[in-house]
Every structure is written in structure tokens, then in C-alpha cells.
Amino acid sequence: MTRTLTLPPALTQVRVHDAFWSPRLEANRACTLPVLHGKLQEVGALDAFDLDAYAERGITIPKTHHVTPQMWWDSDVAKWIEAASASLVTHPDPALDAQLDDVIARIAGAQQPDGYMNTYFTAIEPDRKLTNERDWHELYNAGHLIEAAVTHYQATGKTSLLDVVERYARFLSGVYGTGQGQRPGYPGHEEIELALLRLYHATGRREHLDFARYFIDQRGQFPNYFETEALARGDNPQDFWAGTYEYMQAHQPVREQSQVVGHAVRAVYLYAAMADLAAADGDAGLRAACERLWDDLTRHSLYVTGGLGPSASNEGMTRPYDLPNDSAYAETCAAVGLAFWARRMAALTGDAKYADVMERALYNNVLSGVSLAGDRFLYENPLESDGTHRRWAWHACPCCPPNLARLLASLGEYVYAVSAQDVTVNLYVGSTLSADVAGHALTLTQEGAYPWRGDVHFSMELDSPATFALRLRIPAWAQGATLSVNGEAQAVTPQQGYAVLTREWHSGDRIDLTLPLVPRRVYAHPAVPQDAGLVSLAYGPLVYCVEGVDQDAALHALSVPRGAALSARFDPDLLGGVTVIEGDAVADTATTADLYTDVPPPTRPARVTAIPYAVWDNREPTPMRVWLRESAR
């Protein structure tokens, strides 16, 4: 069914005022952003834009973190710019604004006369620039700079960085393409595709959309560009360290792909761009490919926490139903990218199943990537730990902290979607939306205590009565949801997962939605060998885990009886205030010192106390598990 083009609201159109999210957004603003800036300064990533000093230092830039100049440093700075710019929308801060101006001036000063912009290759290896897109990160860095420029422009109205990236995009579009004298190349690490589409939406300049389409269409064509490129620089294409172009989703044209393979972050960045282009162009082939790939991921390879990529060796995918828990890679960046893709798929199709996964990723794998204080981070997000997997203050590859920071700072773009004919509520986050709908100025205010409670309330202000559809997502787990308008009960008959209220709306109208929140057991498909005989616990969108510090038995010894009642209780003093799930359990006990015996171990009564996975590892080192043994009784 054809729908009017649906877009996320601008950053300036949404104000978040939510009991769950606001403290996390404040930690992001007040702690994470300055921590990131300080670390980027400490390791030399900011000073790298002083090209002469950078080149003189060669590869000896500070060893305090065992960091040397990196090909992707520009991207880390760009993501910080994007996060800081988004923060200015809701929290004007002259000091942060001036800090941004300083960094952007450094970037502009480092841009080359032809428009090229990459500190590493300009200062350290100028003879090797644009010679190895397979392995290096020039186009990836360019993408993040473009995204940063778009957000900075939208947040401040300044074009200082936008002018830089438009020059860079024009330079790159002269290098890459199918015309005479151009290289038929594309990035090994996808990112610039979705960035160019954001640039198109921000500027209306069709050449940016065309360039994005070129990169997407060219990917995986024969002969493979990465082999041609390797030969041109004197390398043997067969010596490719990853062994397969599946690693960067370049093994076949994107419209022919049906299985999510390779590096997880690269994959979801590509798919987000494909969905964006499908929406902008009405490209049915791209849309069909996105839907196939989505079904493959969610049916075969998505962790219950919304993470993806079980393998550290390729930071990505292995085979269907391979979902190890203690060695799960589930990179924070991959969950962030999944949220990008899911939001675009929800807008493209109007189907709430995509927003369901977006919510799962946001409330679980994304949030687990940062401590409650906002100053420590996770790259990998395992679903089981012996207590030694801890958040770190910094990393030799610090891509995840600024990626997570920019997503949190722009959370308002994920709560709603708006078209000329409807308003869609994808997330239940206390907030206020200001938008033009059906030719009228609308202010929609959302209130509630989600995800701890399921009562959500909306009120409207309109300049005059208006007829449009309000679409409220009914999560797949929300059995028995109820809905009323001005106290009058409404039938909840979801269309593609949304309760749709189409009527003439007036100022003062009130909508009340109740989503039943009860502890739930969640089971994996029997083909997942690592989760056979196990159960996980959930409450609303939150996946739960158990930490050893809360239990009276070792985690591996605990079993949750299948018929045992589970209860939920809000604890305002625990981990910033969380709902815990509690229930009766049994624990194996030892009656002999023998390592092996002929009789099963006896059990004793025990209790299980589970906390949201998002807040694990915020206390002392302790074992953690998402999946628990389940006993018959």
C-alpha cells in the first residue's frame, strides 16, 4: 500500500522530558560529551588537524593509551561534533558552541585545496590516499564528517562545516563514478551512503542522492573493484586478509543479497542507506532486498538484547542460529546502526515490527554500552560474563562511545514520525512534539512512566480542528492493550502493529493508552544450541539479566521452575531506580567432594532477582547471565 512519505521530526521539533530517558540524556550531555572531547584531545585526534605538527610527530603520538595515528580518527571527532551539536538544540551552551566552532575551524584549515579532507593520509601517507578503499577508511571518515555537518547545520544554522563537506563531496564525486577518468569504486566500510542521503535531505541537492545511489548500485558488481584496486597498487588480490568480500557485503550486488553477512556495523549502515534510498526514489528492488535481509537477521541471527554479530574474528556474522552468550561480540556500534536501519524501515513500510526491534536495541544493547554515570563504555556486549568483562574508560578503537552519544543526543528523532497525513508514535518516551500535520500546527505532549509502567497519556494542542491519523505502536509483546480518547474506549485492532485513530482532532483532546507490563519468559528457537533448555526474562521492552551480587547461589547453579510465579517491583534505590523481577528458583547443591558421582545433585530452594540488562556492570565485578536454566518444576 502506498503511503505518504514519512520522515522523522527535526531535532528542534521534539523535547524529551522523561523519567527513564532524561537522566541518561543528561549524563550524555554533562559527562559523556566532555569525557569524549578530553580523550580525543589527549590521544591527539584533535591536534591532528594541525597538519604540520601532526606530520612531524609521525607515528609517535602519545603512548598513554597505546594509540598511534589512526585512519579513522577523523570519524571519532565527527561523531563527537554530531553529538555535541544535537545537544545544543535542547541545552544551549555557549561554551560548547565555541568548542564546536574551534574544532570545525581546525577541520576547515586542514582541508586541501582540491577539497580532500583526511588528516592521516594528508599528513602521514599522502602518496597512498584513495589507493585502498577495501581496507582503509577514507570514505567512511567522509561519511561521518558529512553527518556531523548536517546535524551541526540543523542545530545551529551555521554552514561552517557544511561548506567543508560539500566541497569534499564534490571532490569525491569527481574521483568515483562510471565516467571517463573516474574510478568505479566504493567504500570498504559503508557509511558515506547514508550520509550523502542525509546531505540530500538537508540541502535538496539531487547530486548527493545520485552519488549515494552510485555507491549502492556499484557495490558487488563484477569485476570486483577491490581486486582491480589491489592490482593497481601492486598487491595480490588473493592475499585479502578477510578472505571474502562478504566481510564488507561486496560479494554480490545489493539487490541480489538475501543473507546478512560479514562485519555487522558495515552491514547495517549499508542497509540503512538502502532503505533511505528506497524511500527517496520509490525503488521497489531496494525495498525488497531490505525486507529480505531484515527477515534473515531477525529470524536467524539477532540476539534477544537487540545485538548482532556473534563473532570477534570478523566483528560480525557467522551462520544462522549461532548466538553464543559469553563470547557474543554484539558491538555497541552495530546496535546503534540497527536502530538507524529500523527507523528507516518503519518509515518506509509503515510496519511496527521494525520499531519493535528499534526499541529492543535502544533499551538493551545500546544502553548497555555506557555506564549510568556516562563515563565508561562497552565495545562488546556479551550476554554472559564471569565478572571479568568490564566497561573501560577508553579504547584503542573508540568508535562506540561517540556513536552511542550521537544517537542518545538525537533520541527525539526516533520517538515520532510525521507525514502530511499522520503522526506515528514509535517510542513511549515523555516528550513534546511540535509539527505541521494536515496543514495545521500541532503540539502533541506525551507523558508516562514507561518502561516501568504501561500507562501512557497524550494531549493535543491545535491551531484549529484538523483531521489526520494518530498511529500508536502496539508492541508485539503487549497483549491486552487498551485505548481511549477523551475517556471513550476505542477498539485496539492494530494495522501493521499500530492502533490507528483517524478523526477530527481538537485542542484539549486526550488519548490514554495502557500497555500491560508483566514479567515474561522468553525462549529461543530450538535451533539455537547455546540457549537450549534456557529461559530469559523480560518486562516490557527490557531484557533482564541476573548478576551474582544479587543472588544467594552461583548463577550456573540456579534454575527457574517453569511454573514459578514471577513478580515485578520498582526499587528506587537500586541502579538509579529500576524495576526488578523476582521469583522462586532452585539451586544445585554439593553433597560430596567427588568431582563426579552417579547421582544428580540435590537442590535447595532459592530466589532469583533480575535487573535490566541495560544497567549490568554498574557495581562491583560480578558474574552475569541473561539466559538461565529452566527446570520442569
Helix, coil or strand: residue 423: strand
State residue 156 phi and psi, 5-degree precision.
Answer: -115, -20
In angstroms, rounded to a whole number, what is the distance separating the alpha carbons of residues 448 and 412?
16
Catalytic annotation, pick one of 138, 191, 246, 315? 315
Residue 505 one-letter amino acid:
W
State residue 192 phi and psi, 5-degree precision.
Answer: -65, -25
| Of 166, 249, 245, 247, residue with least CA distance to 208 | 166
| Of 237, 262, 228, residue with least CA distance to 248 | 262
In angstroms, rounded to a whole number, what is the distance separating the alpha carbons of residues 99 and 257?
43
Among all chains, which residue has been given the C-alpha cell 562506540? 400
Whether the Cβ atoms of residue 9 and residue 427 lie closer than 8 Å to each other? no
Among all chains, which residue has been given the C-alpha cell 525488497? 288
How far is C-alpha 381 from the geometric centre of its chain's CA atoms?
13
The enclosing H or E element of 351 equals none
What is the torsion angle, in degrees rounded to the nearest 10, for the CA atoms of residue 151, residue 280, residue 342 and residue 330? -70
State residue 314 phi and psi, 5-degree precision.
Answer: -120, 10
Grid cell, residue 231, equals 592490482
Annotation says 315 is catalytic: yes
Paired residues of 560 in beta bridges:
630
Q: Which residues of 282-296 are buried (b: 16+ CB within 10 A; e: fewer)?
A: ebeebbebbbbbbeb
Environment class of 133 (CB within 10 Å of its CB; exposed 0-12, middle 13-18, buried 19+): buried
Count the neighbouring beta carbons within 10 Å of the beta carbon of residue 157.
7
Catalytic annotation, pick one of 290, 399, 400, 545? 399
In angstroms, rounded to a whole number, what is the distance separating the alpha carbons of residues 354 and 340?
11
Paired residues of 94 in beta bridges:
none
Whether the Cβ atoms of residue 79 and residue 405 lie closer than 8 Å to each other? yes
Grid cell, residue 17, equals 522530558
Grid cell, residue 30, equals 554533562
In angstroms, rounded to a whole number, what is the distance separating the alpha carbons of residues 89 and 600?
61
How far is C-alpha 580 from the geometric centre of its chain's CA atoms?
25
What is the torsion angle, in degrees rounded to the nearest 10, for the CA atoms of residue 546, residue 547, residue 552 and residue 556? 70
Residue 293: partners with Cβ closer than 8 Å, 6 or more residues away: 257, 258, 259, 260, 271
Would the CA dihedral through 528, 530, 531, 536 be positive or negative? negative
Annotation says 545 is catalytic: no
Environment class of 593 (CB within 10 Å of its CB; exposed 0-12, middle 13-18, buried 19+): exposed
As annotated, the active-site residues are: 315, 399
